[in-house]
Structure 1
Amino acid sequence: MSRVCELTGKGPMVGNNVSHANNKTKRRFLPNLQDVTLISDTLGRSVRLRIASSALRTVDHRGGLDAFLARAKDDDLSPRALKLKREIEKAQAGSAAA
């Protein structure tokens, strides 16, 4: 399982451990990924995603999964999240036309 957030694309970063003697050794900074179930109001169903805790706070701040995906860039989203975004857009377009 890759260590990449499905909504923001946030992944591992590299840096150095720096000792008191200023010795530097490589290390990885991993994103704080959580398995969460988010509810799509437009689709009326829940979706399981593996996202960073910072992304979860952003989803909450923007007013839910649908609002987050509407503003999200397609390049940052995983293929599953991009498919979900397309489904939500199609459902919203169908309900607006009716």
Structure 2
Amino acid sequence: MSYKCAVCGKGSRSGNTVSHSNKASKRLFRPNLQSLNILLNGIKTREYVCTSCIKSNKAKKAI
């Protein structure tokens, strides 16, 4: 599974984890993806969609 939303294209971002001693180590910030049956171009498919697209109704649930 690629960490990318099928609707908006939101993907992983890189950043740093900073410890108490202020030492930085690399990490990934990943979007909250959920598997969902959606209508994509008029076709019912199971895709990974971020929760912000689900909440804003950008992803239409297929019934």
Q: The TM-score by the shorter chain falls in which range?
A: 0.7 to 0.9
Q: Which has the higher Rg, Structure 1 or Structure 2?
A: 1
Larger RCO: Structure 1 or Structure 2 (Cα < 8 Å, ≥ 6 residues apart)?
A: 2
Pairwise CA distance, 1:55: 1.1
Structure 2, gaps ≥5 residues long: none
Aligned position for 2:52? 54
Give me the TM-score of the superposition, normalised by structure 2.
Answer: 0.76
TM-score by length of structure 1 reads: 0.51
Equivalent-residue separation in structure 1 for 2:11 and 2:55 (angstroms): 17
Percentage identity across paired residues of the two chains: 36
Question: How many residues in Structure 1 have an aligned counterpart in Structure 2?
Answer: 59
Higher strand fraction (1 or 2): 2
C-alpha separation in 2, matches of 1:53 and 1:39? 16
